[in-house]
Chain A
Amino acid sequence: MRLVQQLGEWFDERLQLGRTLREVMEHPVPRQTASWWYVFGSAALTIFVFQIATGILLALVYVPSGAEAWNSLQTLNQQIAFGWFIRALHGWGSNFMLAVVLIHMAQVFLFGAYKFPRELTWIAGVFLLLMTLGMAFTGQIMRFDQDAYWGLGIGASIASRVPVFGPALVNLMLGGPIIAGATLSRFFALHVFVIPGLLIAFVGLHLLLVLKLGVNEWPMPGRIVRRATYEREYHELIQRDGAPFVPYAVWKDIFFSGFILLCIAACALLLGPFGPSGQPDPTIIQTAPRPDAFFLWIYTLLSYLPPAAETPIMLIGPVIGILVLLALPFVAGEGEKSWRRRPIAVLTILLIAVALGTMTQLGEHTPWSPVMDAWSSDPIPTEYLKGRTPLEHQGALVFQAKQCHNCHSLANDGGKRGPALDSVALRLTNDQLIRQVIQGGGNMPAYGKNLSAAETTALVKFLETLHPPGQEPARDASRGVAVGAIEEQPSPKQR
């Protein structure tokens, strides 16, 4: 113990950092901010350090080459002791980091912490968010599987829409005209050197600003921020009701950071690493690539954009979004901090959360996309086949063989591109079914040229059986008269 102290003193005599460090650790914070609401920033930093550590471990084995990357991930997963666990920790760490960063940002927004004089802290934070997203995207590329390959393809095709500079941008992004080894090297450099370096620099700036300007005081309704008086008021508050960060407030940060690390470890142990999915081979067409969880909302947004709006929204939308975030502390730099007096701020957060949540959920289920193998892998439920005629069974086979199931679900299996057909017979009569199958309509292609008359008949007969028991299918009331069958069913009045 004495030796450690002597060593410490030896270094401090030369470095003379001890005093500064102590000042940093003991900087006064308002007592009320030693709250569980103020732990997200430090947790994000903890996860960042954790990501650097696990990232270095992965980089010891990972081969950033187009031909070898996928195999080296298999080696990590299967052959190296705990390789899969380190991968899982790094992957889950990435998800947790993004989540914590977003929560931190929402909390800072709701607590008015971006207001004067902490504008620059907020701006550094916005850049930190963008870099964290950049790390998540480039990290997904490191997996170099089908998701990575097609994710890059989508990224490149967005870049290619930039007027004039599009082709040059794609070339810059991919390291050539196509996704190849050079692309992976490029993204490896971004993921391992460029963005982490920037992140470290901006984290430093962010922390320095927190130290210089002090932690945002607990917002009280009615305590208005004014440029002229705020700093004096904050100083008085610290004098009156301040406490040293260490040890007064730090234990909650330590506890929460530890809790988050345990959560990451638990997820890694229980749910394992992400992917890799299939090899990044563009000749494999039996694939349904999708982005990682935090980009699913973009996937949904792009899928639902009308074609004419795609380019403007893709290119101008992000710019506007970032500008709004950067302008926020200048537009609303003064005034109320408490969320109790800022209904629009609360509604904004709720709106964004609901929108992102909904779009992520949709991205999970991709209702806009046919399920290309539903026809051959999702059986028609046996209840839909019992008690049916031979012709109706043939219709069920036509339903599968002509791949109707890829877009239409039965008992929730199959595609969601078109309407579910479990009760289609209640909605459409025989004639309407025939017309819809042959001519298409809405988003449905016409199948008239792909179906023989017998196939159409069988298919429509099968579709006519799709109604809940006890509910009569739709029928054309004039049909009986038209085919002269009315005599067979005399109405009570005629008798």
Chain B
Amino acid sequence: MRHSILFLLSLALAIEVSGCNSAPGKPGPESKVLPPDKILNFDSLYQQNCAGCHGAQGSGGAAIGLNSQVYLAIADDATIRRVTAEGVPGTAMPAFVQSSGGMLTDQQINAIVTGIRTRWSKSNPTDFAPPSYAALTPGDPKRGAEAYATYCSSCHGNEGRGGSRAGSIVDQSYLSLVTDQYLRTIVIVGRPEIGHPDWRGDVAGKPMSQQDVSDVVAWLSAQRPKIPNQLSSSANSSEGGTK
């Protein structure tokens, strides 16, 4: 009798001890809350700072998808680091590094850049040869109009004023909010997750050439309003501009 009680007690203790070591409530090493400037974990950093615009897993947000293989192929680490740290003036991309008025340290910016590369870069850049990130030669607006008609007008409509499948890209407000580099990147990378093909998919079997991209961007850039931010013009364009 006494032995069985002792046995039961030691059994209960053993269950208790082994249970405690793997109990769901046991705080793991990651439970220690770090000061915000000491967080170097990519998932936390990306979730807190980038996911809002670039999407929870690097795509599907309002801004360009960072997990796009094409984007990762054309943008090198120095570019991603510069854009992340200093932002892109004139667009919605803010500066994130402390020296430019953001909240992140240089180490944290590095962690984000490395994280984006190692987490999402899967393909070998030599598998496909996209046009370069920066324009190699200046574009020509006249040839750009022709390239536009070939590659883009099936969706964005005649002269870019919007078609049945995509909206206007010559809207004055739109062009005021994007840089030439943004236009170039979006033409090359596209937004496949929301239906915009990359540079290869505009016309089947006929990818845009390096020069085509530069020309289309030059054509769009030429239509940017000379004096941006006119409130009166915006009030009119808000109703008529995109139609």
Measured CB to CB, the residues of A under 8 A from B are: 74, 77-78, 82, 84-85, 88, 145, 267-273, 275-279, 281, 284, 286, 373-380, 382, 385-394, 396-401, 405, 430, 434, 452-458, 460-461, 479, 483
Task: Name which residue of chain A comes closest to B230, CB basis.
Answer: A453
Contact with A along B157-197 (1 / 0, CB 8 A): 00000100011110111101110000000000000011100
Are A278 and B24 in contact, with the CB atoms below 8 A?
Answer: no
Bound CA span A193–B177, Å: 64
In-complex Cβ contact of B35 among A284, A385, A400 (8 A): A284
Most chain-A CB neighbours within 10 Å: which of B31, B162, B167, B238?
B238
Report the contact-size class of chain B (Cβ under 8 Å from the partner): 35 or more
Are B173 and A269 in contact, with the CB atoms below 8 A?
Answer: no
Q: Which stretch (B1-9, B47-55, B133-141, B204-212) binds chain A?
A: B47-55
Can you name 16 A-B pairs with beta carbons within 8 Å? A77-B32, A269-B23, A272-B23, A272-B24, A278-B36, A376-B51, A379-B54, A380-B52, A382-B193, A389-B167, A389-B171, A452-B228, A454-B172, A454-B176, A454-B228, A461-B173
B239 at the interface (CB under 8 A from A): yes
Bound CA span A369–B47, Å: 21
- Decide yes or no: A394 and B92 within 8 Å by CB, A270-B25, A376-B53, A452-B228 being known contacts: yes
Are B62 and A385 in contact, with the CB atoms below 8 A?
Answer: yes
Bound CA span A276–B27, Å: 11
Bound CA span A457–B235, Å: 8
Residues of chain B lying within 8 A (CB to CB) of residue A401: 53, 92-94
Residues of chain A lying within 8 A (CB to CB) of residue B48: 373, 376-377
Are A389 and B53 in contact, with the CB atoms below 8 A?
Answer: no
B231 at the interface (CB under 8 A from A): yes
Most chain-B CB neighbours within 10 Å: which of A77, A281, A284?
A77
Interface of A is mostly: helix
Q: A204 to nearest B CB, angstroms?
A: 33
B100 at the interface (CB under 8 A from A): no
Are B20 and A452 in contact, with the CB atoms below 8 A?
Answer: no
Q: Across the A-B interface, how many residue pairs have beta carbons closer than 8 Å?
A: 178
Bound CA span A145–B63, Å: 36
Bound CA span A420–B23, Å: 39
Residues of chain B lying within 8 A (CB to CB) of residue A455: 177
Residues of chain A lying within 8 A (CB to CB) of residue B177: 394, 397-398, 454-455, 458
Task: Name which residue of chain A comes closest to B231, CB basis.
Answer: A453
In-complex Cβ contact of A74 among B32, B56, B174 (8 A): B32
Are A483 and B239 in contact, with the CB atoms below 8 A?
Answer: yes
Q: B223 to nearest A CB, angstroms?
A: 13
Task: Name which residue of chain B comes closest to A73, CB basis.
Answer: B32
Which of chain B's residues 26-47 have a Cβ closer than 8 Å to chain A? 26-27, 29, 31-36, 47
B132 at the interface (CB under 8 A from A): no
Bound CA span A376–B63, Å: 12
- Decide yes or no: A269 and B92 within 8 Å by CB, A390-B167, A457-B234 being known contacts: no
Q: B195 to nearest A CB, angstroms?
A: 7
- Decide yes or no: A84 and B173 within 8 Å by CB, A286-B36, A378-B52, A388-B167 being known contacts: no
Bound CA span A139–B14, Å: 31
Contact with A along B202-243 (1 / 0, CB 8 A): 000000000000000000000000001111011101111110
Are B51 and A379 in contact, with the CB atoms below 8 A?
Answer: yes
Bound CA span A375–B103, Å: 14
In-complex Cβ contact of B25 among A272, A374, A388 (8 A): A272
Are B52 and A377 in contact, with the CB atoms below 8 A?
Answer: yes
Task: Name which residue of chain A comes closest to B169, CB basis.
Answer: A390
Task: Name which residue of chain B comes closest to A76, CB basis.
Answer: B27
B61 at the interface (CB under 8 A from A): yes
